[in-house]
Each structure stands twice: as C-alpha cells, then as structure tokens.
Amino acid sequence: MSERIPVASGLFADTKDGARLIGSRCASCKTPYFPKVEFCRHPECRASKIEDAGFGPDGTIWSCAIQDYPPPPPARFDKPYKPYAMAVVDLTDGLRVLGQIQTDDIRTVKPDTKVTLVIDTLCHDDAGNEVVTWKFRPVAG
C-alpha cells in the first residue's frame, strides 16, 4: 500500500490547527529559524536562548517565480515534467520562507497575495509512495 512520506524528516507537521513548519526561535532576540538551529546566529544577540517553534500558516507572497524548465538533480518531480510556481513568503510570525505554490493556474500567482501553509504532494517515489512537502495555497481576499 502506498504511503505519504515526508521529503525530509523533522521539517513540517500537520496539526489539528493546520500545517506548521518546525523550526526554532531565539527567546532573547526573537529571531526565527527554519530549519532548527542549536544556537542563535544573530550577530547582535547577546544571549542565545533557542526554543522550539512552529511557523505558519498565514503569510503573504514577497515574490514568486515559475520553474519553467525541469530543475537539475537533486530536485525531485514526477514525469512528465509540469512547470510549477514557487514563492518567497513572509509569514505573519516573522519568517521569510521559500515554498512551492499549490495552484492549478501557475501564471496568475502574484507578489503581495495572501497564502496559507499546506502539506501537499511533491512527487512519487519508485515504489509509488506519495512524497510530501510544504507548499502555500493562495487564499481569497
């Protein structure tokens, strides 16, 4: 039976309140990190106090692009290749993060659009399992 396999472990989770990216935040200087870090890297921070933090789901597209040509390895995608949209998203909790956009209409994705974090299919592996990653879905309004 096919399974849903995360593309990499420990990066995201589906919670009862929706999808979350799993990272860290420094309790001293409030800097957000994704993925997790052991120590705060902000050069002005005097006392690293790293705590676990979840990020998302609400954000706004800072900028976006379309992957018109198939990306070289190690990127993974199903064949035949279908271009997809990607964005740099500013989450309301202070994290600027990259992700694919979940949409049927990749050409209409625009900067400054509100989005929400989702867990969605990236591709399928050789055994037919669904490989999942985080993406952003445009929301109305």
From residue 65, alpha-carbon distances to 69, 89, 107, 127 in Å are: 12, 12, 9, 31
By the rule CB under 8 A, 3 interacts with other proteins: no
Least Å distance, CB 137 to other proteins, is 15
By the rule CB under 8 A, 27 interacts with other proteins: no
By the rule CB under 8 A, 136 interacts with other proteins: no
Q: Which of 18, 88, 114, 120 binds other proteins (CB under 8 A)?
A: 88
Strand 4-6, strand 130-138: pairing:
parallel
Burial 60-93 (b: 16+ CB within 10 A, else e): ebeebeebeeeeeeeeebeeeeeebbbbebbbeb
By the rule CB under 8 A, 39 interacts with other proteins: no
Least Å distance, CB 94 to other proteins, is 5
By the rule CB under 8 A, 98 interacts with other proteins: yes
Q: Which of 58, 90, 120, 130 binds other proteins (CB under 8 A)?
A: 90
How far is it, in rounded angstroms, from Cα 77 to Cα 43? 38
Q: Which of 4, 8, 78, 125 binds other proteins (CB under 8 A)?
A: 8
How far is it, in rounded angstroms, from Cα 29 to Cα 43? 10
By the rule CB under 8 A, 82 interacts with other proteins: no
How far is it, in rounded angstroms, from Cα 105 to Cα 93? 27
Interface positions with other proteins (CB under 8 A): 7-8, 11, 21, 23, 31-35, 41-43, 62-69, 71-77, 84, 86-88, 90-91, 94-100, 107, 110-112, 122, 133-134
